[in-house]
Amino acid sequence: MDAVFNMTNIPRLYNGDGSLNREAAAQVLGAIQNFMARPSRLAEAFRRLPVAELTTSDDFPAKIKDVAKMIQLTPAEIDLTYEQVFDIGDYTNSNKSGFKVRKAASGLAFRKVLPGERVDVYKFSGEDYEVPFDDYGGAIGFLNRWFEDEDFVTIESLAKEFRAKYYQQKARAFVGLVEAVPATTDVAWQGTSGDLQVTRDILTVNAVIEKLIQLTENTGLVSDSTQFVIYAPLRLKGRILRALDTNWHRAKDDVASEVVYDVKPLFSPNFSAVDKFYGVIPKMLLDGGNRKDLATPAQPDILANAQVMAGWGRYGGAIGKIAVSGADTVVSVVRGATS
C-alpha cells in the first residue's frame, strides 16, 4: 500500500524551547504534497511504459524524500483504467482552456460535478467542439495539534482519504461518459434460457465486438489486428474472465463457444450499474485532456489553528460520434447485457 511518511525518518517538528522547526515542518508538508502528486505521475507513466518499469519517487527534493515513504505506487491502488480507454492529452504546459473534438457530428462530454455527485453528461454537435477544462478540487485541514503531538497516523489517514476521493471522482467522470452512450446499439444477452451462463456471456462478448466492427467498417480504423477492450464493472470480473478463458472452454470440450477476437479486459469499481459491460475500441473518438494535475498548495489558517492544504486539478473528456446510415452514432463503445 502507498503511504505518506517514512516513519523512521520523520524529524522533530518542535525545538527544545517549544519553537517550530520550520525546516522539519516544510519537509512534512512536502511529504504530503508528494503523496498527493504520485498518482498523476503514475498516470503519465502508465500511458507510456510497461507497468514493470514504473517508478514514482522522482522530482522531489532529497530532504523530502527522506521523510516521504518512497515506495512504488501500483495501478492496483487507484483506478486508472480510463487512461487505457481514452486518449488523454497532456496540456499541463499549455495555456489552453480546452481541447477540440474534430471530425465528429455530435457526441457526449462532461462538466464538473460536486463531490459525491454523478457526472452530468451533455450533448454537443458540429464539426468541431471545444471540450472545456474545468476545475475540480477541495481542501483539507491538518490541525496544528496533530503536528505538535506528532500524530502522523492521523495526518496520513486523512491525506489518503482526500487523495482517494479526488481520483475516484476523476475516474467516475470518465467512466460516466462510457455509461452515458445511447442505447441504440446495445446488444442483448445472447443465447437461450437453456444455455450455461458462461456460454451466453461468450456469445454476448462476440456479438458486442461484431457490432463494433459493423459500426466502423467504413472508417478504415479497424483491422484483423485490432485489440478491443471489454470495459466492465469490477463485480463482473469473474464472469468476464471466465468467458475469455480459452483454455477453460477447451478443457470442457466447449470449443464451439469461444471469444474469437483479440480482447483485453479492464475492470473499474466506478461503474454505477453492475449488470452491463462495454465493448470499446480504445482511444478511437474517446478523448480527454489534463490541463492541471492535482496540485496541493498549503498555508496556515490561524483562525482554525490548522494547516490547510487545497487540492486542485483541471481536466475534461468527450466521446464523439460519426454518421452511420445517416444517423449520428457512437461507434467506439457498445453496451452488452449480462441478464
Residue 233 has a CB neighbour count (10 Å cut-off) of 22
Higher local confidence (pLDDT), 190 or 104: 190
Radius of gyration (Cα) for the chain, nearest Å?
Answer: 23
pLDDT at 319 (0 to 100): 86
> Nearest to residue 118, comparing CAs of 172, 44, 188, 183?
172
pLDDT in tens, 118-175: 656 665 555 566 777 777 777 777 777 777 777 777 777 777 777 788 888 889 989 9
pLDDT at 110 (0 to 100): 65
C-alpha 175 chain-centroid distance: 8
pLDDT at 232 (0 to 100): 97
pLDDT in tens, 182-212: 999 999 999 999 988 998 999 999 999 999 9
Look at the pTM and tell me if it is higher than 0.85: no
Region 311-326 average pLDDT: 77
Would you kindly state where each structural domain of the chain is located, as residue ranges? 1-78, 183-284+328-337
Query: Are 181 and 333 in contact, with CB atoms under 8 Å apart?
Result: yes
59: three-class secondary structure by DSSP: coil
CATH of domain 183-284+328-337: 3.30.2320
Q: What is the Cα–Cα distance from 114 to 328, expressed in whole angstroms?
A: 30
Angle of helix 197-216 relative to helix 237-244, nearest 10 degrees, comes to 80
Question: Given the C-alpha cell 515506495, which residue does it identify?
Answer: 71
pLDDT at 209 (0 to 100): 96
Region 222-226 average pLDDT: 89
pLDDT at 116 (0 to 100): 61
Q: What is the Cα–Cα distance from 175 to 108, expressed in whole angstroms?
A: 12
